[in-house]
Every structure is written in structure tokens, then in C-alpha cells.
């Protein structure tokens, strides 16, 4: 009986993972695509890592030839919109280029507890906001399979930017069957207006919003 109860407890245990999204130099102050005050969330992210069963991170990792860069479209400028391989694409400043300082994690971010790093945006033909899939949902990073293999049931997201890569990562995680929560005080948006508009969509699809103090 004790063995059966022990087995049932293991099956029922909530396993929590922290997913740290793109806390890289190009997204923090001074970077090519900086999120305003994006560095102020880093102490919070560092403080909460030890409270999770698993910590993973995503990393934008673009080739210089990436077609989401305005510089690769003569006559276009950053934040113009085009159609790229059938998808609407915002053109960005060059950022997080493979092997560059801008692609490195911010030096203030503690990485010792990271069990794995999942790189995205490596295909020059399609952008990849989510840490799970590219924007066309044809290329998987392997993140979902890794988390499921570790027995993770609940995901908590933080990082940059809350209205883009964090948001799309949460949406994909919900489709993959995870319970998902955005840690608001450990995330920052590129656009406050866009961030305000996505809240209801996250809630409607089963996502939650919490602050770090709620989960410790």
C-alpha cells in the first residue's frame, strides 16, 4: 500500500519549471533592440531561480543574413512590415547575431542553474518569437519534448520582451498542454500598448499572471 501511495504521489506532484526568455545584451539597455529598463528584472529573475524544479533559458541566435532584419531589405527601415514567406513580418534592427556580444546573456544574469539553453531564430527565412517553434510552426526547438521528458507540468515565464517572445512562448506552451504563468515583475515589454492588449488573450487561453512574491 505504501508503495502504491508513493507512486501516486509522484504522479500527482506538480513539477515547476522557470523559462527565462531572451535576457540578452541586445534586448537590455545599450543593445540594438533594447527593451526600456529591461535590466531591472534581472535581480528578480536571479532570486526566484532556486524555487523551481528546473530552470531553462531561450536565446535568440540569428545569422547575419536573417530576413527579419531591415538591413537585408534595401529601402526598408526597422519596424516596417512586409510579407515574408506568407507571414507578416516586422523588420527589426540587426540583433542577437550568432557569436556576437549582443547575443550573449546579460552579464548580470545568473546562469549556473540553467539545465539547458534552447536557441531560436536560426533559420534565415523565418523568424522565431516563441521558445518552442518558429513563427510558421514548422521547426521545433525541442523545448516541449525536453520539459515533458523531465515530468514538468507547470511553466513560469519571465524575460524579454513580454509582449513578443515571452507572449508567444506562453501561447505555444498552452497548446502543448502545460499550465503557464507569466511572472509580471520579472518581465518587461517592448511596447506597453501591445502588452496591454494581449492580457485578455492569455487569460482566455488559460494563461495566468502572477508576481514573483506569489510563487516563492
Report the catalytic residues. Answer: 22, 120, 165
The whole-angstrom separation of Cα 46 and Cα 49 is 6
The whole-angstrom separation of Cα 99 and Cα 151 is 32
Cα→Cα distances 17→47, 52, 91, 134, Å: 14, 6, 32, 21
Contact of 163 with 184, CB cutoff 8 Å: no
Contact of 28 with 167, CB cutoff 8 Å: no
Peptide bond preceding 91 in cis form (omega within 30 of 0): no
Return the SS3 of 54.
strand
Amino acid at each position: 500500500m505504501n508503495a502504491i501511495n508513493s507512486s501516486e504521489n509522484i504522479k500527482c506532484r506538480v513539477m515547476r519549471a522557470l523559462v527565462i526568455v531572451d535576457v540578452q545584451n541586445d534586448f537590455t539597455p545599450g543593445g540594438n533592440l533594447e527593451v526600456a529598463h529591461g535590466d531591472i528584472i534581472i535581480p528578480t529573475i536571479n532570486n526566484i531561480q532556486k524555487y523551481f524544479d528546473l530552470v531553462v533559458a531561450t536565446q535568440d541566435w540569428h545569422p547575419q543574413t536573417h530576413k527579419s532584419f531591415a538591413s537585408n531589405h534595401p529601402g526598408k527601415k526597422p519596424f516596417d512590415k512586409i510579407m515574408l514567406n506568407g507571414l507578416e513580418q516586422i523588420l527589426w534592427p540587426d540583433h542577437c547575431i550568432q557569436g556576437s556580444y549582443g547575443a550573449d546573456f546579460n552579464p548580470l544574469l545568473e546562469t549556473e542553474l540553467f539545465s539547458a539553453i534552447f536557441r531560436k531564430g536560426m533559420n534565415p527565412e523565418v523568424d522565431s518569437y516563441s521558445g518552442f517553434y518558429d513563427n510558421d510552426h514548422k521547426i521545433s526547438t525541442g523545448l516541449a519534448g525536453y520539459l515533458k521528458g523531465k515530468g514538468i507540468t507547470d511553466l513560469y515565464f519571465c524575460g524579454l520582451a513580454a509582449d513578443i517572445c515571452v507572449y508567444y512562448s506562453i501561447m505555444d506552451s498552452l497548446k502543448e498542454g502545460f499550465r503557464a504563468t507569466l511572472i509580471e515583475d520579472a518581465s518587461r515589454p517592448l511596447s506597453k500598448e501591445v502588452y496591454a492588449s494581449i492580457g485578455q488573450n492569455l487569460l482566455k487561453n488559460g494563461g495566468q499572471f502572477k508576481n514573483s512574491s506569489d510563487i516563492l
